Amino acid sequence: MPDESKPNLHAEAPIAVYDSGLGGLTVVRAIMRLMPSESIVYFGDTARVPYGNKSARTVGLFASQCLQFLARLHPKIMVVACNTVSATAMPALLREFTIPLYGVLEPGAAAAVRIARRRFPAGDCSIGLIATEATVASRAYPMAISRIDQHVHVAARACPLLVPLIEEGRDGDSPLVKIVLEEYIDPLRQISPAALILGCTHYPILSDAIAAAASPDTILVDSAAETAALVRNRLQSLELLRTGSAGKLSCYVTDQGQRFEAIASRFLSRPVGHPVWVDPESIETSTMESI
Ligand code: DGL
């Protein structure tokens, strides 16, 4: 008898990537670079972004709805490319879904400790973290980091204005972005952290401007590349890696605006095409029916 609780995964199936908005495209870009033959289905909950100022309960509910939508597309693996969801809702999501599911927080935390320890092999040292209010309030990063190394301390700063600026299409050359970064990063610059975690998948879009605002010897940690490496390892060990022709990217969004296509194409340096609109009410309803 086949085990119905285990999904039937195959190499031709896509990798599903989910974020509250555009930021998860940083993970898509890293996956495309590392595994160009993989097809990707991307879901951006653009109607309900930002998640970073919402309660853990709301974030968990939205995440469950969006991942249920993606699971119906039969992916071989799902990536929560959103730090806020990874920090606040992963245990419940891992219980809910049988398809292999990974967040961005653990790979980012592990990379930050590796970098810090390369610079300071022994004793206490500190790492900076910039993230959304919900991610900072969850304390998920300090907990993950102290599980790896109790002597690595985290100085965290919530940066609530950055996500709206990025979703607006502002880049690191914007004078407004520079002023906001100066304000947020200045207290962290004072402590010269060994590494600075970009604890929000939107932030790598501003990485040059963030590096300019941080102290010159601080190394930025972008969990996108780390997460892509983890996904490749998992697919390899499950014998689910696809080889051959270039994979396809299909995008689904919950807002009908034109902004996603323009910003995504610019960000991925390739035309992204029209995203498919998903009515947020329909995913809310189908989740309620399945409860
Ligand atoms: N993608 C979210 C994260 O990585 C930031 C955007 C939001 O607040 O929804 O935390």
Three-state SS string across 7-61, please? CCCCCCCCEEEEECCCCCHHHHHHHHHHCCCCCEEEEECCCCCCCCCCCHHHHHH
For domain 15-103+226-290, the CATH architecture is 3-Layer(aba) Sandwich (3.40)
- Within 8 A by CB and 6+ apart from 184, the residues are 130, 157, 159, 161, 162, 213
Closest approach atom of ligand 1 to CA 53: 8
Cα–Cα distance between 251 and 270 in angstroms, integer?
13
pLDDT, residue 288, reads 47
Residue 286 clears pLDDT 80, i.e. is over it: no
Residue 128 clears pLDDT 70, i.e. is over it: yes
Q: Is 21 close to ligand 1, i.e. is its CB under 6 Å away?
A: yes
Distance 43 CA to ligand 1 centre (A): 13
Q: What is the DSSP letter of 275?
A: P
Closest approach atom of ligand 1 to CA 23: 1
pLDDT, residue 160, reads 94
Question: For domain 105-223, which CATH number applies: 3.40.50.1220, 3.40.50.1860, 3.40.1110.10, 3.40.30.20?
Answer: 3.40.50.1860
Active site residue 159: no
Enter the pTM of the model.
Answer: 0.92
Q: How many helices (H) and strands (E) does the chain have?
A: 13, 10
Distance set, CA 98 to CA 4, 102, 175 (Å): 10, 12, 45
Kindly report, residue by residue over 159-211, the tens digit of the pLDDT. Answer: 999 999 988 889 899 999 999 999 999 999 988 899 999 999 889 989 999 99
Q: Is 199 close to ligand 1, i.e. is its CB under 6 Å away?
A: no
Q: 105-223: same fold as 15-103+226-290?
A: yes
C-beta atoms surrounding 256 within 10 Å: 11
C-beta atoms surrounding 151 within 10 Å: 15
What is the domain partition of the chain in residue ranges?
15-103+226-290, 105-223
pLDDT, residue 291, reads 36
CB 17 within 8 A of CB 45: no
Cα–Cα distance between 145 and 124 in angstroms, integer?
13
Residue 4 clears pLDDT 80, i.e. is over it: no
Give the mean pLDDT of 107-128. 94
Active site residue 82: yes
Kindly report, residue by residue over 31-83, the tens digit of the pLDDT. Answer: 999 999 999 999 999 999 999 999 999 999 999 999 999 999 999 999 999 99
Reported confidence tier of residue 144, pLDDT bands at 50, 70, 90: very high
